[in-house]
């Protein structure tokens, strides 16, 4: 199998959508906009079939990531996420993943610190891994 992201052979992850033949390496998944869901049924989805946040929100002008304080852009994208409860707490996907790895299952919450638990379900669907540690 050839990776649809890097073009090299040895791609072992295949999109879980029925009929899709996209394969990729696990390390290439994020670079290619693919989503791997680290919950049962442990699916991987290519950029065409990946889930999108159901929240109908768009960042206001000059909205910054609450973790790195850099602009998030003017619309939802693969690289940005919004807290589904706050609807105005925006994050870059990579920084959200880093915070989830640091906090794990027990301590990861919305970066606003308001204890928004709705973000926990959302990050699982969007492929943000939270380790059990």
What's the pLDDT score for residue 114?
A: 61
- Whether residue 115 is predicted with pLDDT greater than 70 in this model: the reply is no
Range with the poorest average pLDDT among 16-25, 27-36, 71-80, 120-129: 120-129
CATH class of 1-50: alpha beta
> Alpha-carbon Rg of the chain, whole angstroms?
15
CB burial of 34-52 (b: ≥16 within 10 Å; e: otherwise) equals bbbbeeeeebbbbbebbee
Return residue ranges of the chain for CATH 3.30.40.10.
1-50
What's the pLDDT score for residue 48?
A: 94
What's the pLDDT score for residue 133?
A: 67
What's the pLDDT score for residue 18?
A: 95
Range with the poorest average pLDDT among 9-13, 112-116, 129-133: 112-116
- Whether residue 66 is predicted with pLDDT greater than 70 in this model: the reply is yes
Kindly report, residue by residue over 1-44, the tens digit of the pLDDT.
Answer: 999 999 999 999 999 999 999 999 999 998 899 999 887 888 99
Tokens describing residue 24: 């990729």
Q: Residue 8 phi/psi, 5° resolution? A: -85, 160
From residue 22, alpha-carbon distances to 25, 27, 46, 70 in Å are 11, 15, 7, 33
């Amino acid at each position: 199998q050839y990776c649809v992201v890097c073009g090299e052979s040895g791609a072992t992850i295949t999109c879980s959508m029925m009929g899709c033949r996209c394969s990729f390496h696990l390390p290439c998944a994020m670079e290619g906009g693919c989503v791997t869901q680290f919950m049962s049924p442990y699916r991987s989805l290519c950029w065409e079939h990946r889930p999108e946040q159901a929240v109908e929100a768009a960042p206001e002008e000059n909205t910054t990531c609450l973790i790195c304080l850099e602009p998030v852009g003017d619309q939802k994208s693969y690289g940005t996420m919004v807290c589904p409860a706050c609807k105005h707490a925006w994050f870059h996907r990579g920084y959200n993943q880093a915070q989830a790895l640091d906090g794990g299952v027990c301590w990861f919450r919305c970066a606003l610190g308001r204890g928004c638990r709705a973000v926990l379900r959302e990050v699982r669907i969007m492929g943000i891994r939270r380790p059990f540690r």
